[in-house]
Every structure is written in structure tokens, then in C-alpha cells.
């Protein structure tokens, strides 16, 4: 009889464990670079050709935009910039400079909020408002999408699938977590990049000076290894 009296407590505890385990699993799925519930996700392209896409997230911001563009121009390397609508609204001249330099511009949402447990209306506004600001730069190419922090669960992938858009992730990520020196960032990229890689860098903001310092050596080192740089769109055409 004592066991029966404790049974509801036991069942409640088991239920809580199941709920927590399910929540943890969904959180891990939301962060996956290679899986989502709807639509197509690309973290790298399977190819034997030594081509890669260099991508930059966030901004644009005066602290790093021009310095990044200067290195890319000096090295004659095209790149894909995943920009925030809020940055484009605040610094439209920087968005125009990126477009005028011939780089590809992708959508990184307006507010850089994590796109998990959000409403369909929120997703649509974040993406569509940013698309408009990207077009206002003069950029005419395809607008690919990358979720902030790589987070996506149900609503965002469903929106992208219904609008025939891919989720662009990455397979090389040297500077996202923790503090890194320029040399550490360079070594990580040179050691991890392979044919078809999508390299993610953050060079826009003031605290990202190590990434800006590493950019030139990264490009030189990959060129020495025979790699050729293309935009995300050009890389996808290799698939």
C-alpha cells in the first residue's frame, strides 16, 4: 500500500525526466550543422575539386567591414557575407560597399535572435525585412540564408522550405567559441578545410581583431594548398 501511495510521485518524476530528455534532444537538434526537420541544409558540398566558400557573419559594422573588404580586394578573393538587417539599416553605406565589391550577400535575420520556438510571423518578418535591405544595397544575386548561431527547429526550416530556400551552415568554424589568437584561427582553418568546405568567420566587430589579422594568412595558406575561393552560390553549383 505504501508503494501505491508513492506511485503518482514516481510517475511524475519519470515524466519529468522524459520531458527534460526530449527538450535536451530538441535543443541538440536545433544546433545541428547537418540535420533539420524540413527542407535542405548545406554544411559543405561533396566535390573532389579544391573549391571552398569563405563566409562572414554579422554586421555590417564599421569596426571590421572595411578592413575585411580591403584584405579580400588585395587577395582578389570573392566571399559571401551573411548580414543582419539591423546592421544594414544602421550602416547602409557599408552594405553598398560589400555589394559594389562584387561579393555575395546572404540573410542572417534582422535582429540576430535565435530562431527557435518563434512564431511563423516573426520568422517571415525577420527574413523578409532583411531581404528588402539587402536589395537596397544594389545586390542582385541570390539571397541565401544562415540562421544566427546555427539555431533552427520547426518554424524556420518550414518557412525556408515553402519559399524554396536552403539553410546554409558551415563545416569550418575557428572563431565562434571562446577567445582565440590570430595564429590559432589560422591553424584551425588550414587544418580543417577540405574540398567543398564552407568556412565561417566573424570579422565585423571590434573584438574580432584576431580574425581580421588571421584573414590574410588564411587566404595565402589555402591558396598555397591549391584551394580556389568561390561564393556560396558557386560552391552549390558544384554539388
Report CA dihedral (28, 30, 36, 39) to the nearest 10 degrees.
180
Given the residues 70, 93, 202, 220, select the one marked as catalytic.
202
Active site residue 103: no
Residue 19, all three cell numbers: 520531458
Active site residue 57: yes
Given the residues 57, 58, 61, 129, select the one marked as catalytic.
57
Q: Distances in Å between the alpha carbon of 31 and those of 6, 38, 60, 170?
A: 38, 14, 24, 12
Instruction: Report helix angle 182-192 to 209-224, nearest 10.
Output: 40
Contacts of 48 (CB under 8 A, 6+ apart): 195
> 51 near 238, Cβ under 8 Å?
yes
Helices (H), the chain: 2-30, 65-75, 85-90, 92-100, 120-136, 155-162, 182-192, 209-224, 232-236
CA-based nearest residue to 152, from 109, 181, 190: 109
Question: Residue 226: how many CB atoms within 10 A of its CB?
Answer: 8
CA-based nearest residue to 136, from 103, 88, 90, 104: 88
Q: Which residues are catalytic?
A: 57, 202
Amino acid at each position: 500500500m505504501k508503494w501505491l501511495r508513492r506511485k503518482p510521485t514516481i510517475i511524475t518524476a519519470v515524466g519529468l525526466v522524459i520531458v527534460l530528455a526530449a527538450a535536451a534532444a530538441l535543443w541538440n537538434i536545433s544546433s545541428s550543422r547537418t540535420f533539420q526537420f524540413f527542407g535542405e541544409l548545406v554544411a559543405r558540398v561533396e566535390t573532389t575539386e579544391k573549391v571552398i566558400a569563405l563566409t562572414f557573419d554579422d554586421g555590417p559594422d564599421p569596426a571590421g567591414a572595411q578592413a575585411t573588404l580591403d584584405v579580400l580586394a588585395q587577395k582578389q578573393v570573392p566571399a559571401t557575407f551573411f548580414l543582419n538587417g539591423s546592421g544594414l539599416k544602421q550602416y547602409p553605406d557599408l552594405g553598398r560597399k560589400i555589394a559594389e565589391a562584387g561579393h555575395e550577400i546572404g540573410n542572417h535575420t534582422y535582429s540576430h535572435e535565435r530562431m527557435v520556438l518563434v512564431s511563423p510571423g516573426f520568422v517571415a518578418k525577420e527574413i523578409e525585412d532583411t531581404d528588402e535591405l539587402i536589395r537596397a544595397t544594389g545586390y542582385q544575386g541570390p539571397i541565401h540564408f544562415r540562421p544566427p548561431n546555427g539555431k533552427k527547429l520547426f518554424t524556420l526550416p518550414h518557412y525556408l522550405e515553402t519559399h524554396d530556400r536552403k539553410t546554409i551552415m558551415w563545416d569550418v568554424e575557428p572563431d565562434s567559441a571562446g577567445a582565440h589568437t590570430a595564429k590559432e584561427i589560422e591553424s584551425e582553418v588550414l587544418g580543417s578545410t577540405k574540398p567543398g568546405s564552407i568556412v565561417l568567420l566573424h570579422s565585423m566587430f571590434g573584438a574580432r581583431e584576431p580574425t581580421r589579422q588571421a584573414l590574410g594568412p588564411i587566404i595565402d595558406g589555402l591558396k598555397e594548398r591549391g584551394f580556389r575561393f568561390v561564393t556560396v552560390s558557386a560552391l552549390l553549383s558544384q554539388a
